[in-house]
A and B are shown apart, each in its own frame.
Chain A
Amino acid sequence: MEFDPQNLVSSVRSKFSNGKSHQSESQSSALQNVGSKERIVSALIGSFMMARGLRHGLIRGAVMEFIGGALLHRAVGGHCKLYKTLGINTASGQGEKSKSEPVEIDASLTIQKSPEELYRTFSDPEKLGQITGGWAQVQQGSGDQMTWSLRMPWGKNIEWKTRMIEERPGELLRWETAGGGLSNQGRLELRPAAAGRGTEAKLSLSYVPPFGALGQRVAHWMQPLTRSVAQTALRRLQSLAETGEVPSLLHNPSGRESTHTTH
């Protein structure tokens, strides 16, 4: 539950205002914004997705786990951050209009390597390929240009080019789209953490969603997922920099590929 000083004030006030019931109702509805029927449906779909997500590969599985987990979370708490962001409330029927703005996400991780080493790892196209390997392919183009391709769940690829617009070794990398499908900007900030705790790496991405107002909604809806993608990229950077490899389940033995024998 998020701490909201406004709620605290209103709840204290309602205690001193002859106990008018509509005030305490409005306070609880400020926290709960998902209606009870919808919560049941969320719980059912969420559980199903989490169970099914395990059957799929890294990316599809992760997406299903994530969405399933979020649905379960809102079902249990009756509070949906996405609805709050969009100003939707199915618990009380009230709603506000959403604002249109570019989507910005960021993720942070502390890594046990110097900023300089992390900078080198991230700038190496081969290693960058490993870092983004799970969800996007990166190819070095001419000069400081790179071509990215993102495989979508429905099978088609979205491709775009980026170019570096700022390079401060050991501190900052900044890039932006130089043409292609998805207009976006990104930055990796590196700074030493306190007392030998390594380097704090912050990866920020911002993009203007395609397809106008509809795309805007979809992008907002996808925000937790894109954040998870950024977080995964940082974790892969961490593993690669600290150990020289990314944890993998490739060729992981299981009975799913076996000829069943009785016992």
Chain B
Amino acid sequence: MRALCWNGVNDLRVESVPDPEIVNPHDVILRVTSSTTCGSDLHFINGYLPTMREGDVIGHEFMGEVVEVGPEVRKVRKGERVVVPSFICCGSCWYCTHDLWSLCDNTHPKPQLQEKLLGYPTAGIYGYTHAFGGYAGAHAQYVRVPHGDVDCFKVPEGLRDEQVLFLSDAGPTGFMGADFCNIQRGDTVAVWGAGGVGLMAMHGAYLLGAEKVIAIDCVPERLRMAREHAGAETIDFSKVDDVVEALKAMTGGRGPDACIEAVGMEATGFGLEYAYDRVKQFLRLESDRGEALRQAIVACRKGGTLAVLGVYGLIDKFPMGVLMNKGITLRAAQQHGQKYVPRLLEYVQRGELDLSYLATHRMPLEEAPRGYEMFKTKSDGCVRVMFTP
């Protein structure tokens, strides 16, 4: 089959690789119908996340048609159209049964790679480094989905791929961020980053009852999307002197009740702090550029909530004292997708959520390296590229 492979820093190629096979009794094989770029992929494409190997098939946000099922698969049937969360979950361990899906105990084939750093291993992910399991990714014609009955969600009749595709990762990740904020009537929620995850966090905040949502970014098309599709007020941080002051001005001096960080370890900024982070990260003295995260901590109102959705390494210069003195509740996780996908599918069916506008560009899988280049440079107004194998 054809698949998009990582061959080194900034070296992606579409190659012919062996087809996946049923390995374990609960496995399902999908023929991928659509997959999409995710900002978190850029971290290992740019060389900031270790444990990739030459030849790894990447991609973790996808949907497809079931073409083969293992002997122990009971619910999922051949021919069904399904969407699959990017974290592989067993559905039986303590974490899965407590809706903490991305912490699943039973889907990491190489737990020793994580144990030293995290203390305990997490669930595995498709196509996202060997530290996260080493599974082949989904920018391919076919993909093996372990625990098919748990991880495949049937797509209701009449929905198009672009309406459903983003429920694989950006949708549940963003919605989880809003869910973490424990939104009360009258709350203002500020969201850093207006990419796929950030935009979904804005939709989520409104769906969960926020009074006002404020988006912070510097890309004009993305800020326009935040206004037009997600109904947010916007701050272009390249145009204001001080984001924190701007947020105060927009919230009667209180500050946002909750802040959602949807940026991650390669934040962009313009000041001295950005230059400092940039140099340190380039020299590999730190793994993260954390300007957005630090800003969110300062901007958040006293006693507010901060939800971190961006991917980080071992960040330094983390303002713990600010967090502590302001009594901020910090929530963070990789997506617990299996908890949210059924609910999000209902929103989509009822017409209350339509993320198809995220797919600003579409191309065949064969052109995926060009697609990732556009996505990375955010050229031509690119928010997400949708690939068709």
Question: Could you tell me which A residues sit within 8 Å of B by CB distance?
Answer: 50, 54-55, 58, 61-62, 65-66, 69-70, 73, 110, 112, 197-198, 228, 231-232, 235, 238-239, 242-263
Contact = CB atoms under 8 A, between A and B. Distances in A.
> Which residue, of A228, A231, A255, A261, has the highest number of chain B Cβ atoms within 10 A?
A255
B289 to A, nearest CB: 21
28 contacts: A55-B53, A62-B110, A65-B113, A69-B116, A197-B94, A235-B111, A238-B106, A239-B90, A242-B105, A242-B106, A243-B26, A243-B90, A243-B91, A243-B147, A247-B124, A247-B146, A248-B23, A249-B135, A251-B20, A252-B135, A253-B140, A254-B17, A254-B136, A255-B7, A255-B54, A257-B17, A257-B55, A258-B16
Contacts of B133: 247, 249
B19 A253 contact: yes
B187 interface: no
Contacts of A65: 110, 112-113
**Size class of B's contact patch?**
35 or more
A243 B136 CA distance: 21
A198 B94 contact: yes
Interface string B1-23: 10101010000011111111101
A69 B24 CA distance: 30
Given A54-B53, A235-B105, A261-B15, 8 more contacts: A65-B110, A112-B97, A231-B112, A243-B147, A249-B109, A253-B57, A255-B3, A257-B55
Nearest to B113: A65
Nearest to B150: A243
Interface string B106-150: 111111110110000000100000100111100010101011000
B92 A243 contact: yes
Tell me the dominant secondary structure on chain B's binding face: loop
Nearest to B19: A253
A242 B115 CA distance: 20
A109 B144 CA distance: 28
A180 to B, nearest CB: 28
Nearest to B143: A253
B366 interface: yes
B55 A256 contact: yes
Contact of A66 (B5, B18, B105, B112): B112
A197 B25 CA distance: 26
A96 to B, nearest CB: 27
A254 B21 CA distance: 13
Interface string B364-377: 00100100000000
A18 B252 CA distance: 56
B134 A258 contact: no
Contacts of B360: none
A54 B51 contact: yes
A73 B144 CA distance: 35
Nearest to A112: B94
A137 to B, nearest CB: 20
Nearest to A63: B112
Contact of A245 (B14, B24, B97, B108): B24
> Which residue, of B5, B51, B106, B134, has the highest number of chain A Cβ atoms within 10 A?
B106
